[in-house]
Amino acid sequence: MTAAAGEPWDGLVRHTVEHGWAGLECLSGIPGLVGATPIQNVGAYGQEVADTIGAVRALDTRSGEIATLPASRCGFAYRDSVFKRDEPGRWVVLGVTYRLRPNGPPTVSYADVARQLGGAAAPTLAATREAVLTIRRAKSMVLDDPTDANRRSCGSFFLNPILAAAEADAVTARAGDPSMPRWAQPDGRVKLSAAWLIEHAGFTRGERAGPVGLSSRHTLAIVAHDGARASDVVAFARRLQAAVQARFGVTLTPEPVFWGER
């Protein structure tokens, strides 16, 4: 399936689910457009677009030519790609081709999704999509409720840190909590929860600093309230980074790309 870069992302996901094409169902409810998905290697709840992208059609602003890059040339990594990492701004994504599985089963690898599905033995794509949307709504991570002040955010502001096993062990020791969330990665490294680190560095859900603050439902979301400016968001993010660095020795990396503000 090929989609133009300007297509709304969630509408595309809904279309694939309605047609029984598996591969994107857990990426339901993410705002934005198709063209952003390969740049960020968008992912959530056990799926990321790198799992299904076959090729990206893009304008090379350096040469002025249009190229079709196979997935192998996209340099996909955790919330990263060649478009974002190596030469940001060089490529303008025009369209993306996804390889989906007709009549395939949904991906149910996250405990939250499985729990929301109620342990169904053979959940449908539609049921999985609805489960993901329900979870995201509970975290104010969809845009369909204009009365929810928490929706005015950049989503998950920081990447979950991925550390060498020894470094993760040191963080666990500093935390003094053996139940600290950690997930082993295929390469032997360990992923930690940025939200957990922020909370245990002394911040609480809903905490505010003037016109910005944390979501009351999700510690990883920085919310812009009335009157907030980009500089307020950046300053608050730096406070979170400094606190986590001081408490755990972990540097949180912002997920959004900063333009004109450092």
Residues involved in catalysis: 79, 156, 255
Q: Which has the closest alpha carbon to 153: 210, 212, 105?
A: 212
Helix (H) or strand (E) holding 154: strand 153-156
Packed helices 125-138 and 9-18: angle between N→C axes, nearest 10 degrees: 150
Q: Which two tokens stand for residue 120?
A: 């169904």
Cβ atoms 2, 105 nearer than 8 A? no
Q: Which has the closest alpha carbon to 67: 76, 55, 77?
A: 55
Q: Which two tokens stand for residue 82?
A: 């060649």
Distance CA 215, CA 227 (A): 16
Distance CA 151, CA 140 (A): 5
Q: Which has the closest alpha carbon to 211: 194, 226, 230, 189?
A: 226
Q: Which two tokens stand for residue 122?
A: 């053979």
Distance CA 250, CA 262 (A): 19
Distance CA 110, CA 135 (A): 12
